[in-house]
């Protein structure tokens, strides 16, 4: 599904990625671990074509993502759900409305929204928060809502960039379990974190980054 071929990213004052090559297969759960500044977020930006590589190529299936025109790039990004550390929820909309908004953005009908939103809220255990605004919810609940919004349009890939960075251990565990459930349903997941405990609890493939390089790529089976 995703293929990095000798990808480098050099800024004026630093190298963010250096000769990175790896493949993510459809249906995999891949955790990318490394300290702050290791290159994890730059990796994510490359997949979304938010940044252009200095060298090398990034493919989504057979598509060179950095050669896409804006219209085609928008279509590609709709195949990807993204979860951020800081949630990026709409503060003036309820849990239901936050998810409905994401569906409206891709042209879903009122009937589809009415049918699908309750199901995804149930999947992330937020049915009881349907009418609550983000500021009425805990950090863990807000992140679960952000996950629900990311998966509502059934993307093929979920990218979670430090999704547990602001959460306590209990909420971290709950969020990781949701990502595992999503992966079990067939969605490919790429999760970045600096917390090795998070990735050990996942028990899947771990890519370790340091100073913009992949220094280890291991697979576990659980």
Give yes or no for residue 221 having a pLDDT over 60: no
Q: Give residue 220's pLDDT.
A: 62
User: What does the pLDDT look like over 70-127, one tens digit per residue?
Assistant: 999 999 999 999 998 889 999 999 999 999 999 999 999 999 999 999 999 999 999 9
pTM of the predicted structure, to 2 decimals:
0.93
Percent share of the chain, pLDDT over 70: 99
Q: Give residue 36's pLDDT.
A: 87
Give the up-direction half-sphere exposure of residue 186: CA atoms within 13 A in the CB hemisphere.
3
Positive or negative, the CA dihedral 136, 137, 142, 145 is negative
Pairwise CA distance, residues 142 & 172, whole Å: 12
Q: From edge to edge, which strands make up the β-sheet containing 157-161?
A: 80-84, 157-161, 188-193, 29-33, 205-210, 213-218
- For residues 155-173, average pLDDT: 92
Structural domains of the chain, ranges and CATH numbers in brackets: 1-79+155-222 (3.40.50.300), 88-154 (no CATH)
Give the angle 187-130-166 at the CA atoms, nearest 5°.
Answer: 60
pLDDT band at 47 (very low <50, low <70, confident <90, very high): very high
């Amino acid at each position: 599904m995703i293929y990095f071929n000798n990808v480098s990213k050099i800024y004026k004052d630093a190298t963010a990625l250096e000769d990175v090559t790896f493949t993510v297969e459809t249906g995999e759960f891949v955790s990318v671990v490394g300290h702050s500044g290791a290159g994890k977020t730059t990796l994510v930006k490359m997949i979304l074509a938010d940044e252009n590589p200095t060298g090398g190529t990034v493919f989504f299936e057979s598509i060179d993502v950095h050669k896409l025109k804006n219209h085609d790039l928008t279509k590609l990004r709709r195949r990807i759900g993204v979860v951020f550390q800081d949630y990026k929820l709409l503060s003036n909309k309820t849990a239901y409305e936050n998810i409905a908004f994401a569906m409206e953005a891709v042209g879903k009908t009122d009937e589809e929204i009415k049918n699908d939103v309750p199901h995804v809220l149930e999947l992330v255990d937020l049915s009881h928060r349907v009418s609550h605004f983000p500021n009425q919810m805990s950090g863990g609940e807000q992140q679960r809502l952000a996950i629900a919004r990311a998966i509502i349009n059934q993307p093929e890939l979920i990218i979670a960039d430090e999704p547990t960075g602001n959460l306590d251990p209990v909420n971290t565990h709950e969020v990781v379990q949701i990502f595992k459930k999503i992966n079990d349903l067939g969605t490919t997941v790429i999760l970045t974190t600096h917390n090795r405990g998070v990735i050990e609890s996942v028990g899947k493939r771990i890519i370790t980054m340091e100073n913009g390089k992949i220094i280890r790529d291991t697979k576990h089976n659980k």
